[in-house]
Structure 1
Amino acid sequence: MAEAINIFWHRRDLRIEDNAGLYKALSNGTPVQPVFIFDKEILDKLPASDARVDFIHQELYRLTKEYEKAGGSLHVYYGTPNEVWPQILIDYPVAKVFCNRDYEPYALERDKSIFSFLQNKEIPFIGSKDHVIFEKSEVVKDDGSPYTVFTPYMKKWKKTLVSGQYDPFDSKGALDQLHTGATSQLPSLASMGFEETSTEFPGREVDSELLEVYGDKRDIPSIKGTSRLSLHLRFGTVSIRSLARKGTMYSEKWLNELIWRDFYQMLIFHFPHSVDKAFKAKYDLIPWDNNEDHFNAWCAGKTGYPIVDAGMRELNATGFMHNRVRMIVASFLTKHLLIDWRWGERYFAEKLLDFELASNVGGWQWAASSGADAAPYFRVFNPESQQKKFDPEFKYIRRWVPEYGTPSYPQPIVEHKSARQRAIDTYKEALS
């Protein structure tokens, strides 16, 4: 009978170094076979040109080479998890399955299903915390209930932090426990119905000089004042622990942004209804205008508000949008245009390379004033004053809206003052 092996299932943790679940698997005393599943449940909803699939494919190629260098292999499957797992049990004499936990509703349902399948085969399914610093109910109020306001959560988060919380797992140093002898071919993009893209993906490193001035430069969209690591955090190609260590050393402001990420992951875990319903239920009573012409103008970056248009064009061209501008365009859609935040959230989900459900939903509900720790409904960003503050020399705008200031640039689709008042009146009436 073949020697039993353990499986490590890579999901949104596409790296070997400082990988909590991989380290746990490699430390178990049984040879480990890493696997990855290109999940048809997710892929079938995406266009052929989705750059995120290209990114994952490139990272899996890198990961495959790293495993081969260590004498092992990465076995990559294509199908739904419910189809693939019976095949894995045919391919390998599996003793235990290890993975890192995910907190989004689809992932929880998927893992519940696979847990039941493996349980019926008497195979343990063992999860680890790797995607966040604190998960589930590790940072909660004194009465055990989850926080719904960021600042007290952040204070408790920092208070809960103990020495060693950021220590890396030496998963790279334990690779002698890899299962050897197995080989696997990485499926081509074309075989799965996808194509290579020309997208330039940001690197996985962030230098200390950028972090040291992060607090001063992060809101200026015309410069490289942010780390651009959100794509790598999304797919776990970098370790959150290594980034939190850097934040502690170089930038409190940057560390706080990482804590926002933990906060949103905790919210979606405790309040899964917030994915498609207002976190504060009464905000679902707002009678959205949902003018499709206005929505299409917003999507195309043709609203006549240059800072909004620059952001949308940057998103459409690159799959990225500066965080300050994300807040401006989201406020504009939900307040100036009175369009349901879910429309904007879905558009970002299609376009953003770094799309992460928890942060995307959290950010959109913040802008629409319907979420946890949301902006008050009467706060309506003035695009003009935001531009004067964060792009006073029009550097960002001229990069993305070259026709600004010429007759070919569109007139504003709504007038700021009246649109602001309409939003406030509409919200006030619906919530009273």
Structure 2
Amino acid sequence: MDKKAPITLFWLRRDLRLHDNAGLYHALKSGQPVLCLFIFDREILDKLEDRDDARVTFIYQTIQTLRDELQKHGSSLLIKYAKPDDAWNEILQEYTVASVYTNRDYEPYAKRRDGSIGEKLQQRGIPFRTFKDQMIFERDEVVKDDGKPYTVFTPYKKRWFKKVNVFYLSSYPTEKYLSNLHKTKSLPNITLQQMNFTESSIEFPETEYEHIIDDYARNRDYPAKKGTSHIGIHLRFGTVSIRDAARAAFTREQTWLGELVWREFYMMILDHFPETEKHAYRAAFDRIEWRNNEHEFELWCKGQTGYPLVDAGMRELNATGFMHNRVRMVAASFLVKHLLVDWRLGEHYFARKLLDYEGSTNVGSWQWVAGSGTDVMPYFRIFNPEAQIKKFDSKNEYIKKWVPEYGTNQYPEPIIENKAGKERALKTYRAAVAKP
């Protein structure tokens, strides 16, 4: 292996697969042998609060699988554990890099990172080529007639559906070109322990989703049923192709496909309005006088609020890294309305615990519940956590699974009476919105 022979580097990030990978496909057709790269980014990893973070385990296991696949094709995977700037300084000393290919990421940190690395490469005369891979339609592909971004979901969805066709859902045939991978012996690996992480015991969901699509609309709101796909973590890290996922539902029942459109809507919103990562899209809602009672927030986190559907959801989240979407809405509404805890604290806790955490969807969904985002639930609509049980878990199947002491004297009294919590929330929200 001649490290000084020019190569193309393909930088894997949120696209951890060889199949139907846009950037990899173009890299393999670049005319130079392609070496795949993954950076365990210390800018992200060093900030994680849990050293057994399940997502790190998932990424690590996926990277090992990718490394094995690449070695079957006579190549390997270049792995770095560093801050991206430091990693690239090492790489550019080790290899003669002709060009760098990668797929675009749209979250604020990723855009800053890519801007910095792109500038570093440009200063050395190395092209940095980026491609669309994790969305069907990115930033400005679905916009209003005047070119401005949609901020209401329904018209965005209508235009999305009007525009989508077989062309946008077609796969990139990367497998045809894997012979263009850089031939090299096995490159150094890294262990979780070397990164100061331990392996999580959480089980990760399979990538099978086609079997739930046709019944998704009928089953999706009932947390005791196996009616959702659990595909979120695989979309988050790109272990499945968004084109494959959308194509599977394209000519079938559209509700499941609509959820993929929600994901793209929130990604588009955060791309256009990066300030909403930390601030309310509707400025008046930054004036809410949150109570932020630490003890009550801790009880919510632990699933000890005395509201069984909320508690079941939080316990499911803490145990599995997943929470049913209907229950997410109820739990989030209870925190920001009944307890008047800042949505950013809830968003941060979900960001810490959810396997399928995506910054754009998490922020967008929390602001939807808080009434502070773009296309939102009105602030005066407050989920009744007791009525939600009657509608969606009337036999208490989900509740009994996660809150086995429910109905006994071991279960705590409600942290606040439902009516009192709603009235306090309305008074507080009205005061914030009424200010000039």
TM-score, length-scaled by structure 1: 0.98
Distance in 2, Cα, partners of 1:168 & 1:362: 29
2:336 is aligned to: 334
1:112 is aligned to: 115
Distance in 1, Cα, partners of 2:94 & 2:228: 44
1:125 is aligned to: 128
1:231 is aligned to: 233
Distance in 2, Cα, partners of 1:259 & 1:135: 11
Distance in 2, Cα, partners of 1:178 & 1:291: 55
Match of 1:294 among 287, 296, 301: 296
2:57 is aligned to: 54
Give the alignment of 1:129-144 within 5 angstroms: 129-144=132-147
Match of 1:271 among 270, 273, 284: 273
Q: Deviations over 1:312-341 (max 9, x none)?
A: 000011111001100000000011111100
Aligned-residue offset at 1:182: 4.1
Whether the 8 Å contact between 1:202 and 1:229 is mirrored in structure 2 is yes
Q: Deviations over 1:268-302 (max 9, x none)?
A: 00000000100111110111111111111101101
SS of the residue corresponding to residue 227 of structure 1 reads coil
Q: How many residues align?
A: 431
1:240 is aligned to: 242
SS of the residue corresponding to residue 213 of structure 2 reads helix
Identity of aligned residues (%): 55
Distance in 1, Cα, partners of 2:352 & 2:200: 15
1:318 is aligned to: 320
Distance in 2, Cα, partners of 1:405 & 1:261: 37
Give the alignment of 1:138-153 within 5 angstroms: 138-153=141-156
Match of 1:35 among 34, 37, 60: 37
Distance in 2, Cα, partners of 1:99 & 1:331: 38
Match of 1:155 among 145, 155, 158: 158
Whether the 8 Å contact between 1:39 and 1:81 is mirrored in structure 2 is yes
Whether the 8 Å contact between 2:21 and 2:174 is mirrored in structure 1 is yes
User: After alignment, is 43-52 or 363-372 more displaced?
Assistant: 43-52
Distance in 1, Cα, partners of 2:123 & 2:58: 35
Whether the 8 Å contact between 1:14 and 1:60 is mirrored in structure 2 is yes
User: Which amino acid is 2:78 matched to?
Assistant: H
1:415 is aligned to: 417
User: Which amino acid is 1:393 matched to?
Assistant: K
1:348 is aligned to: 350
SS of the residue corresponding to residue 349 of structure 1 reads helix
Match of 1:203 among 201, 206, 220: 206
- 1:90 and 2:125 are equivalent in the alignment: no
- 1:77 and 2:77 are equivalent in the alignment: no
SS of the residue corresponding to residue 8 of structure 2 reads strand
Match of 2:392 among 384, 390, 395: 390
- 1:4 and 2:6 are equivalent in the alignment: yes
Q: Deviations over 1:78-116 (max 9, x none)?
A: 100000101111222110000000000000000000011
Aligned-residue offset at 1:152: 0.5
User: Which amino acid is 1:327 matched to?
Assistant: M
1:190 is aligned to: 193
Whether the 8 Å contact between 2:382 and 2:422 is mirrored in structure 1 is yes
Q: Deviations over 1:34-81 (max 9, x none)?
A: 000000110101121111100000000111111111221111111000
- Structure 1 unaligned blocks of 5 or more: none
TM-score, length-scaled by structure 2: 0.97
Match of 2:380 among 363, 378, 381: 378
Aligned-residue offset at 1:426: 1.2
Whether the 8 Å contact between 1:75 and 1:183 is mirrored in structure 2 is no
Whether the 8 Å contact between 2:74 and 2:185 is mirrored in structure 1 is no
- Structure 2 unaligned blocks of 5 or more: none
User: Which amino acid is 2:362 matched to?
Assistant: N
SS of the residue corresponding to residue 308 of structure 1 reads helix
Distance in 1, Cα, partners of 2:155 & 2:411: 45
Whether the 8 Å contact between 1:8 and 1:21 is mirrored in structure 2 is yes
Whether the 8 Å contact between 1:49 and 1:194 is mirrored in structure 2 is yes
Distance in 2, Cα, partners of 1:417 & 1:48: 40
